[in-house]
Amino acid sequence: MCEPNLTDEELVFLLKNSDADAFETIYKRYWRYLYGFVYQQLGTKEDAEEIVHDLMLSIWQNRQTVAIQNLKVYLFIAARNLTNKSIKARINLRKYQEHLLLREVFENFQTNEILGTLDLSQAVEQVLIQMPEKTARIFRMSKMDELPVKTIASKMDLTEKAVEYHITKSLKMLRHQLQNFHSDN
């Protein structure tokens, strides 16, 4: 077991020489801080743990090739980069899922069956009126005002995950309620 009072520079040197005890000391020294940093960004325990785990695994796997000048700075920049990558992946997945839901709604209508944009807008408004107030408000902010999830979460004092839940819920309700929106209705 490495001395817990070794400097970061000494630990990096030992790590580069495949010293597992040095790695364990780095892990124990920084895990809690990195977890807190990532958790603050993502808001979920599992995602924060996964990112810190991936970061530490990467450090061990690349220990002989990575150039670390300042261990603390390196770890937090790497954690920030992995967090940003995770957020981008979530956004892309969420946008893709929303796109699929909306596409499914509109693919169910043949162009000649749709009464028109005004009537469709009125039908959407009718569905929004039936939704819980918070869900409808979040839908309007997201789809009509085109505000990002982060902004909506801040304005509504909710987590981003909660906002995403309401958006998905509203899209499902719209899809269900508008499936019979045809010109013969």
Rounded Cα–Cα distance for residues 138 and 156 (Å): 8
Model confidence band, residue 122 (pLDDT cutoffs 50, 70, 90):
confident
> In the prediction, which pLDDT does 23 show?
93
Model confidence band, residue 111 (pLDDT cutoffs 50, 70, 90):
very low
Percent of the chain at pLDDT > 70 equals 82
> In the prediction, which pLDDT does 5 show?
84
Rounded Cα–Cα distance for residues 172 and 162 (Å): 15
CATH architecture of 8-86: Orthogonal Bundle (1.10)
Give the mean pLDDT of 139-153: 86
Model confidence band, residue 43 (pLDDT cutoffs 50, 70, 90):
confident
- C-beta of residue 104 within 8 angstroms of C-beta of residue 175: yes
Residues forming CATH 1.10.1740.10 domain(s) in the chain: 8-86
Backbone angles phi, psi at 49, to 5 degrees: -60, -40
Residue 69 pLDDT exceeds 80: yes
If one looks up domain 108-178 in CATH, what number appears?
A: 1.10.10.10
- C-beta of residue 2 within 8 angstroms of C-beta of residue 19: yes
Residues forming CATH 1.10.10.10 domain(s) in the chain: 108-178
> In the prediction, which pLDDT does 59 show?
94
pTM of the predicted protein model: 0.52
